[in-house]
Copies of this chain bind each other. A is one copy, B any other.
Amino acid sequence: MSNLKTGGGKRIFMQEVCPRDGLQNEAVFVPTAEKIALVNRLSQCGFAKVEVTSFTSPKAIPALSDAEEVMKGIRRTEGVEYSVLVPNMRGAERAMACQIDEANLVMSASESHNFTNLRMGREASFNQLSQVIAEIKGSEVAINVSLSAAFGCPFEGDVPENSVMNFIDRFASLGVRGITLCDTTGMAYPTQVASLCQKVKKYFPELETTLHFHDTRGLALANTLAALSEGIDRFDASTGGLGGCPYAPGASGNVCTEDMVHMLTLMGYETQVDLPRLMGISRGLASLIGHEVHGSVVRAGKRDDLHVMPESLEQNFNACRQAREQV
């Protein structure tokens, strides 16, 4: 239980996904210059990785149709990896022309979710991604695979742990650097997270393993604790909790970066993220996207943002305190 006793200064790698996973869910098209400015500001916060954009078909995701301009326009910060979502060969070609650090491929661990999201079965997706991996491998670009619905499918319910482990195994065999276990619609719960993370760490200790939680049912930070308890040290998160859930309108989406950093820092983990700076960025998001964002710490203040006592009380209080000291 040591991880619940103290983080002990352990380094946790925070990966910011707001510019891609957040903005792709927004109805408004955020102007290219503002996207670039957002990535540049996030680059100054201490993240290990920033997911910048998606090289999906502009027809499929119009909100990110400016992937090339954004990727070519950002100012790179040393120590930050710039990742992009790559859905297929066409996307890989486009992305590879933009000096990306990492290609983040995606498919679902659930057959019906993969079909709904990507319009093909899982085997077809695996074959397609295998070709992309073959194309990219040997370059300097790292490869990550995000497995959607790894903790449950909104259509099928439970997704067998073995299915998830099987896809991890097959992608690991193809030599990818990392796997992200995505709780795409917020169905993960702590005991389940601990169980899957333990298996992944045991059988694939060399894989860079990321956990990607959604807060749809309020469990994202509890699930983070469960993952930490199994030695996971890498988390996706979205500033302002940007990125909703299509199956639950109005529900929270991605776990909020500043809330996660706030918790990890209090627990004694070392995220290297500048929380006040990040909170400033979060406060600016509403004007960018036209609606309020989720995020408890921005709303309530950090734990150490103290309040002043009502003035009338404070005078009484000080008088009482003095009287006591004189006794």
Identify the A interface with B (CB < 8 A): 1, 4-7, 111-112, 115-116, 119, 121, 152, 154-157, 186-187, 189-192, 194-195, 215-219, 221-222, 224-226, 229, 245, 247-248, 250-252, 256, 259, 262-263, 266-268, 296-297, 299-304, 306-310, 313, 316-317, 320-321, 324
Number of copies: 2
26 A–B pairs (Cβ distance < 8 Å), ordered by A = A4-B191, A5-B191, A111-B321, A112-B309, A115-B316, A116-B310, A116-B313, A116-B317, A119-B313, A121-B324, A152-B303, A155-B308, A155-B309, A156-B306, A189-B266, A190-B267, A215-B296, A218-B263, A218-B296, A218-B297, A219-B296, A222-B224, A225-B225, A245-B300, A250-B299, A252-B300
A1–B250 touching, CB < 8 Å: no
Please name 6 further chain A to chain B contacts, defined as beta carbons within 8 Å, in addition to the given A112-B317, A116-B310, A217-B302, sorted by A numbering.
Answer: A5-B195, A189-B303, A215-B296, A217-B296, A225-B226, A248-B300
State in angstroms the CA–CA spacing of A187 and B263 once bound together: 10
Q: Which residue of B lies closest to A304 (CB)?
A: B157
Does A256 lie within 8 Å of B306, measured CB to CB?
no
- Please, which residue of chain B has its CB at the minimum distance from the CB of A262? B217
CA distance in complex: A156, B317 (Å): 13
Which of chain B's residues have a CB closer than 8 A to the CB of A192? 266
The distance in angstroms between the C-alpha atoms of A137 and B112, with both chains bound, is: 62
Q: Quick one: which of B154, B189, B229 contacts A307, CB cutoff 8 A? A: B154
**Max chain B Cβ within 10 angstroms of own Cβ: one of A221, A320, A324:** A221
Q: How far does the alpha carbon of A205 sit from the alpha carbon of B48 in the complex, in Å?
A: 44
CB-defined contacts of A224 to chain B, threshold 8 Å: 222
| In contact, A306 and B218 (Cβ under 8 angstroms) | no
A157 and chain B: residue at smallest CB distance = B306
CB distance from A174 to the nearest CB of B (A): 23
Question: What residues of chain B lie closer than 8 Å to A247, measured between beta carbons?
Answer: 307
CB distance from A163 to the nearest CB of B (A): 15
A221 to B250, CA, bound (A): 20
CB-CB nearest in chain B for A301: B248
**Nearest B residue (CB) for A246:** B307
In the complex, chain B residues whose CB is within 8 Å of the CB of A156: 306
Asked whether B194 lies within 8 Å of A306 as measured between CB atoms, the reply is no
Please pick, from B116, B189, B313, the residue contacting A309 in the complex, using a CB distance under 8 A.
B116
Given known contacts A1-B1, A245-B300, A320-B115, is B307 in contact with A267 (CB within 8 Å)? no
Q: In the assembly, what is the distance between CA of A235 and CA of B299, in Å?
A: 25
* Interface pair A299/B189, CB less than 8 Å apart: no
Expressed in whole angstroms, the Cα–Cα distance for A99 and B121 within the complex equals 63
Q: How far is the CA of A247 from the CA of B225 in the complex (A)?
A: 27
Q: Measured between alpha carbons, how far is A309 from B195 in the docked complex, in Å?
A: 29
In whole angstroms, what is the CA distance A91 to B249 when docked? 45
Most B C-beta atoms less than 10 A away, residue of A190, A195, A307, A308: A190
